[in-house]
Structure 1
């Protein structure tokens, strides 16, 4: 059997991409190296992921948000039940709205009037969920949609031709018309496909540990910078710390209680005693990116395409954005109605976003270095982030609300996420995108654009209705990923609308 798409990696990016492809009826096989998706490190506190506005919007527009954010009863390795925490962050409003290298900014300082095209939606609320919960919900949705998931089969090597890709695993061989590597920072697909991967090497080894402390009073709570590094204790025994050793300890030897205690003593400047090591993992600030996201019939997404430190938690959201951007473009290519260059726009749109995120990560590392220069810079950033303009700027970057693709177009909304318009009957734009097609939203009762939109059949859904707040618009064309392709403030501009529709949905009348 030959699959339309084979995806390597059953993490959130691979599973979400699989769901996106199935919306278009594409056959999908997902291969995952690990047999058991459960891992203590995916659970609280290590597996907690804050969801950015684009990630929340992606889940919301596909009808997944309730599944992702609803509390879930799961079994731990001992067989006992527990509740996975998910939903609005901390389940209640918080004054702190985010941070940059541990320097917080507050909701009260964020000026949302700077974002005139964002209407109230679930994406205006901070949310978080643990990784195990997210993967469980996405795997359930993928299976329901007909995605074939094979666990215990990691990609070993690949061969591609002009027609397909042969994928060899540790047990079987598969064929797909396309292969997407979503198999993490050490991606086998990236290496086997010959993708160039460049960037900056690590400055530190980061540790996330769950320990028992014999004398907990010796450690402070919160984020504490010291002359030798930084440690953060979110609750007793749950500690993250950064040791500026050039990444020397990351994945080079077993993590022992004695080693963790020695590092913690050196960083904290105390003689704290640890009595038990329950969980531990290491990470670094290595920041690399693939120079191309596509080579022939092989593509990369998520950590396979870009890696950086987990500071700020933006890597998870970056990968979901890759999947949302790629899914409909690859599906249109397979179905045969993609306009020229559509699939290549995946790289041209997503690579600059990753560049910004990697630099954002590097900037935080520079602020964390154990030096007088960094502490001086930290003091200046603290002053700036405490201003209204400063907090608004950092919120734009951390929340992802400033994301805009360079799509051309005369309206400032083009390239941005579509506002969640509420129509007069109460329907929201998010619900109109659930099937993964494009959307032509016409606010004029005279339906001036209906004939134009009908030329693209089911590739573009046409809806004519006024909205409770149309933001001065008369019509808007939205891509399947929720990005505005065209917008107008007058009931004219048919030629520009038709050009935008052809640019993203192919020629009218061509069925796929």
Structure 2
């Protein structure tokens, strides 16, 4: 019997697998596809954006450089300049509802309590590159991946889950569905999946244009929808506000795609060939809980929305990072009561917020007689430092805050990358997936207490370049600040906080 069976070998499933294997859990990943390679994962169709928050997770597990190499990102693209003492202005803030924003308008100081470090901003990559890095990491940790094994039936009891896939039964203590927006796990187990219906059918395609000069590059909002051209030859995206009627209902023929493109673009552009094409919608749905007994969901299996703003992959990676250490602690018997329940409690509001962010963009783009006025108003608001900074905060992955019951502004947020005098960063201390107790006091006030959680909490002390006024912090394995105190931290308060997240060390 495995500790965990994960259904889905996409980035979310593989990231979760590496987190569990890092914590010495036995993991089997079941994947319905025969091969990992696909034109839908490679550039340009597999192009995705990883925001600063996701980049930070790869950095904190020692995978950042491999990811940059696989993504073709030049050295120094995302790290702080040597000797930097402040958070730099990001180079890109993407778009809102197809309206490009000027990164120069970002007020970097608005991203409070941040410190410069190796992971500073997002990058453009591909599903293939992300998958390559995570698959290599998973293999090195002993994760088993079984292909041609889509789930057919799931039965759970109080102690285990059995999933039938490829005609065979696989038993595990826990099962996690990471099998995408049309999740079979979600359907078989019967999770409630609720939300709002679609307003558009979207298309992504690799085509050959007869006369591409008729189409402008970038996002192009029109009175009837939106089309997108990228520097990749033949890469085309479209949004047709038909109520989602065409999505997967009919073949995506050259004639249909050309008709839609001409109507949206207002040109007579011709497509001579369609190499690959797929459709999607802006349907925004979320399960009411991320757990049913011994079955959990993560990534698109738990929430779907339009790809506007590129938040889906980032949201799923955040799910995996939040769930991995909690499920591992539950398996090892070190988890305090209710720890696994905090997965839904913390991640469900983040997912709901992203769904609303997607809905707001679709509402702004929706054609109609009042659309130009609404778009102009939103454009004017976004064309300000406050507007651009607001978009950056909400898309960077750095502004999420879990409600951990503390009024301290850093508790519940991703931790600053504190840098010690020997050059070690907090990110280096998180690589093994343990919690970290940071003690900046000269008399090491927390030493006797923090070392009680051997193997669960790593104790680190010494001067740092900027302690931001703190005397001590407790960082969870996912990089979230669980507790802070001032220049004279109270060991008893630390002990209480540590017990809340890491259990009683005497048991």
TM-score bin, normalised by smaller chain:
over 0.9
- 1:320 matched to 2:320: no
Aligned residue runs from structure 1 range 133-148, under 5 A: 133-148=129-144
Distance 1:153 1:492 in 2: 52
Q: Which residue does 1:414 correspond to in 2?
A: 411
Report the 3-state secondary structure (helix = DSSP H, G, I; strand = E; otherwise coil) of the residue aligned with 2:347.
helix
Aligned residue runs from structure 1 range 135-284, under 5 A: 135-235=131-231, 236-284=233-281
Report the 3-state secondary structure (helix = DSSP H, G, I; strand = E; otherwise coil) of the residue aligned with 2:93.
strand
Deviation at 1:131, TM superposition (A): 0.5
Q: Which residue does 1:367 correspond to in 2?
A: 364
Which of 124, 139, 157 is 1:128 aligned to? 124
Report the 3-state secondary structure (helix = DSSP H, G, I; strand = E; otherwise coil) of the residue aligned with 2:496.
helix
Q: Which residue does 1:14 correspond to in 2?
A: 13
Q: Which residue does 1:491 correspond to in 2?
A: 488
Q: Which residue does 1:77 correspond to in 2?
A: none
Aligned residue runs from structure 1 range 28-47, under 5 A: 28-47=27-46
Q: Which residue does 1:466 correspond to in 2?
A: 463
- 1:308 matched to 2:308: no
Report the 3-state secondary structure (helix = DSSP H, G, I; strand = E; otherwise coil) of the residue aligned with 2:346.
helix
Aligned residue runs from structure 1 range 470-481, under 5 A: 470-481=467-478
Q: Which residue does 2:282 correspond to in 1?
A: 285
Distance 1:423 1:246 in 2: 55
Aligned residue runs from structure 1 range 383-462, under 5 A: 383-462=380-459
Deviation at 1:86, TM superposition (A): 4.3
Q: Which residue does 2:86 correspond to in 1?
A: none
Deviation at 1:412, TM superposition (A): 1.4
- 1:333 matched to 2:326: no
Aligned residue runs from structure 1 range 69-80, under 5 A: 69-71=68-70
Distance 1:393 1:124 in 2: 18
Distance 2:131 2:447 in 1: 40
Distance 2:182 2:485 in 1: 45
Per-residue CA deviation, residues 259-293 of structure 1 (Å, 9 max, x unaligned), is 11111112112221111112211111011000010
**Structure 2: runs of 5 or more not aligned:** 80-88
The question of whether the paired residues in 1 share the 8 Å contact of 2:415 and 2:475 is answered with yes
Report the 3-state secondary structure (helix = DSSP H, G, I; strand = E; otherwise coil) of the residue aligned with 2:455.
helix
Deviation at 1:122, TM superposition (A): 3.6
**Structure 1: runs of 5 or more not aligned:** 72-83
The question of whether the paired residues in 1 share the 8 Å contact of 2:56 and 2:120 is answered with no
The question of whether the paired residues in 2 share the 8 Å contact of 1:457 and 1:509 is answered with no
Report the 3-state secondary structure (helix = DSSP H, G, I; strand = E; otherwise coil) of the residue aligned with 1:239.
strand
Which of 101, 104, 108 is 1:105 aligned to? 101
Aligned CA distance change for structure 1 residues 320 and 475 (closer, same or farther; 3 Å): same
Distance 2:492 2:369 in 1: 59
Runs of 4+ residues over 4 Å off in structure 1: 86-96
Distance 2:27 2:74 in 1: 29
Distance 2:387 2:182 in 1: 36
Distance 1:318 1:238 in 2: 25
The question of whether the paired residues in 1 share the 8 Å contact of 2:61 and 2:431 is answered with yes
Aligned CA distance change for structure 1 residues 222 and 123 (closer, same or farther; 3 Å): same
Q: Which residue does 1:79 correspond to in 2?
A: none
Further displaced range: 108-117 or 298-307: 108-117
Deviation at 1:87, TM superposition (A): 5.9
Report the 3-state secondary structure (helix = DSSP H, G, I; strand = E; otherwise coil) of the residue aligned with 2:410.
coil
Aligned residue runs from structure 1 range 54-73, under 5 A: 54-71=53-70
Per-residue CA deviation, residues 346-370 of structure 1 (Å, 9 max, x unaligned), is 0000000000000000000001111
Report the 3-state secondary structure (helix = DSSP H, G, I; strand = E; otherwise coil) of the residue aligned with 2:370.
helix
Q: Which residue does 1:76 correspond to in 2?
A: none
Q: Which residue does 1:48 correspond to in 2?
A: 47
Per-residue CA deviation, residues 406-452 of structure 1 (Å, 9 max, x unaligned), is 11224211101110000000000001000001000111131110111
Report the 3-state secondary structure (helix = DSSP H, G, I; strand = E; otherwise coil) of the residue aligned with 1:41.
coil
Report the 3-state secondary structure (helix = DSSP H, G, I; strand = E; otherwise coil) of the residue aligned with 2:309.
helix
Report the 3-state secondary structure (helix = DSSP H, G, I; strand = E; otherwise coil) of the residue aligned with 1:97.
coil
Per-residue CA deviation, residues 155-206 of structure 1 (Å, 9 max, x unaligned), is 1110000010010013211000000000011111111111000101111110
Aligned CA distance change for structure 1 residues 181 and 69 (closer, same or farther; 3 Å): same
TM score, norm. by length of structure 2:
0.95
The question of whether the paired residues in 2 share the 8 Å contact of 1:88 and 1:128 is answered with no
Aligned CA distance change for structure 1 residues 99 and 123 (closer, same or farther; 3 Å): farther
Per-residue CA deviation, residues 449-480 of structure 1 (Å, 9 max, x unaligned), is 01111221111010111101111111110000
Per-residue CA deviation, residues 354-405 of structure 1 (Å, 9 max, x unaligned), is 0000000000000111123222111111111121111111110011221111
Report the 3-state secondary structure (helix = DSSP H, G, I; strand = E; otherwise coil) of the residue aligned with 1:358.
helix
Deviation at 1:8, TM superposition (A): 0.3
